[in-house]
Amino acid sequence: MSSLNDAGFLSTEIHQWIQKHRLANEKWFSLSERCRKLGQQILLAMKINNENLQQILVALWFNRLLSHFQAIVLLMERGMLFESQIILRTLTEVSFSLVAVAENAALAQDFLKDDKVQQLKSLNTYMNLPKHLRTQDQKQHDSIHQIIEDLKCEICKNNYKELKTEYIAQKAKMTDNYNTIYASLCSTVHSRIRDLESHLLLTKDDNIKQLNWGPDVSGLDMVLLSANETFIVTTKRVLQLFKMDQFAEEFNACGREFDRL
């Protein structure tokens, strides 16, 4: 059996830590498993109207949100605290878009317009790459230039705007989530110096004793509380939009268990 010292989080020994973490935090993992199971059932039961952009986008975001939620559980049970926090921030961002469009069908068109802006940014980034990393096919090169010009004209003519995360959160009426979960995890996502301090073990004289690494569940309550709350908030909108009353009883049971915790 490979040890943590040999293979870190990829060691076979990590399974012992998973059992330890799940046993010590049974209430949170129990709720997460219940929400995960409900989410999977909802995902597989969705009937999407091909002509309904609102439904299409909400279903796609829910698909992404559910996989992020499952990833957080997988990471957190292994004690990968910082990695789970990074996915939590992404989960929160997905929830803004899902809830915003679920509450306002007209906003779906704004996301299509934003896609044009994002496409232009990506093509411009590509064209700014060193020459040896770009296509050497002149026809393809000319085609990309033409697409860029066409996008510029379309965006300028129709006054398309890029959708910022804060704006989407406002439309979702989730500004509090933006200012708390999303904003507070910015430092972790970008590995700011202050966030990196937690990786140091210091002596009484503030000298570096060693690096702090390995399984860490010190922030498990915050991570799984936020992840489950976000899941419940977004799932409520999904059930309402797709009129999936058959899951109402289990959804309400998840909500009551969350409230107890």
Listed by start position, the domains of the chain span 19-106+166-260
Q: Is the dihedral of CA 188, 191, 194, 199 positive or negative?
A: positive
Q: Please compute the mean of the pLDDT values over residues 126-144 and round it to a whole number.
A: 84
**pLDDT tens digits for range 155-166:** 999 999 999 999
Residue 208 φ then ψ, to 5°: -70, 120
User: Nearest CA to 201 among 191, 216, 190, 188?
Assistant: 216
Q: How confident is residue 194, by pLDDT bands cut at 50, 70 and 90?
A: confident
Whether residue 212 is predicted with pLDDT greater than 90 in this model: the reply is no
pLDDT at 209: 87
DSSP label at residue 211: E
Report the predicted TM-score, pTM, of the whole model to 2 decimal places: 0.93
**pLDDT tens digits for range 4-51:** 989 999 999 999 999 999 999 999 999 999 999 999 999 999 999 999
% pLDDT > 90, the chain: 82
**pLDDT tens digits for range 71-126:** 999 999 999 999 999 999 999 999 999 999 999 999 999 999 999 999 999 999 99
pLDDT at 64: 98
pLDDT at 141: 83
Q: How confident is residue 131, by pLDDT bands cut at 50, 70 and 90?
A: confident
Q: Please compute the mean of the pLDDT values over residues 202-207 and round it to a whole number.
A: 86
pLDDT at 140: 85
146-179 residues labelled b (16+ CB within 10 A) or e (exposed): eebeebeeebeeeebeebeeeebbebbebeebbe
Whether residue 68 is predicted with pLDDT greater than 90 in this model: the reply is yes
Q: How confident is residue 229, by pLDDT bands cut at 50, 70 and 90?
A: very high
Whether residue 136 is predicted with pLDDT greater than 80 in this model: the reply is no
Q: How confident is residue 188, by pLDDT bands cut at 50, 70 and 90?
A: very high
Q: How confident is residue 196, by pLDDT bands cut at 50, 70 and 90?
A: confident
User: Nearest CA to 89 among 65, 110, 117?
Assistant: 65
Residue with tokens 């996008």: 151
pLDDT at 21: 97
Whether residue 2 is predicted with pLDDT greater than 80 in this model: the reply is yes
Whether residue 134 is predicted with pLDDT greater than 90 in this model: the reply is no
Whether residue 137 is predicted with pLDDT greater than 80 in this model: the reply is no
Cβ contact 103:188 at 8 Å? no
For the chain, the average pLDDT equals 94
pLDDT at 133: 79
